Amino acid sequence: MLSALAETGADWSHGYDLCRALGLKAGTVYPILIRLTERGQVETCWEADPPRGRPARHLYRLTTAGAELARTVAASVRAGEGAPAPDAVRLTPRTT
C-alpha cells in the first residue's frame, strides 16, 4: 500500500485505483487506508469537482511521515532485510 501511494508522489489517488494497482479487493484496501490515516501516514480528502452524474470520492496520499515510512520500508526490502520488524517502525495514532 505504501509503495503504491509513494509511486504517485504528492498526487492524490482514488481507492479504486489503488485496488486495481495492488490487485486487492476493496474490503482489504479501505481498512488499511483507514488505519494508515488514523496513524498519520495517509491524508484523505473528498474529490472537489467530481464528473457530472457521479458522487464525490475520497482521495488519498501519503503524509510526510508516510513518505518517510515508505522510504524506510523500501530501503529495507532493497537491502534484503525484508520488512522492518513491527517494533522497528512505530505506527502511532495521530493525536491532533
Question: Which numeric CATH code is attached to 2-78?
Answer: 1.10.10.10
**Polymer length of the chain:** 96
What are phi and psi for residue 58, nearest 5 degrees? -75, 145
pLDDT in tens, 50-83: 889 999 999 999 999 999 999 998 888 888 765 5
Q: What is the mean pLDDT of residues 30-53?
A: 94
For residue 35, which amino acid is it? R
Task: Specify the pTM.
Answer: 0.75
C-alpha cell at 84: 522492518
> What pLDDT sits at residue 92?
47
Domains of the chain by residue range: 2-78
Res. 28 pLDDT band, cuts 50 70 90: very high
CA separation for the pair 20, 23 (Å, rounded): 5
> What pLDDT sits at residue 85?
53
CA separation for the pair 18, 29 (Å, rounded): 8
Q: How far is CA 70 from CA 9, 34, 42, in A?
A: 11, 17, 11
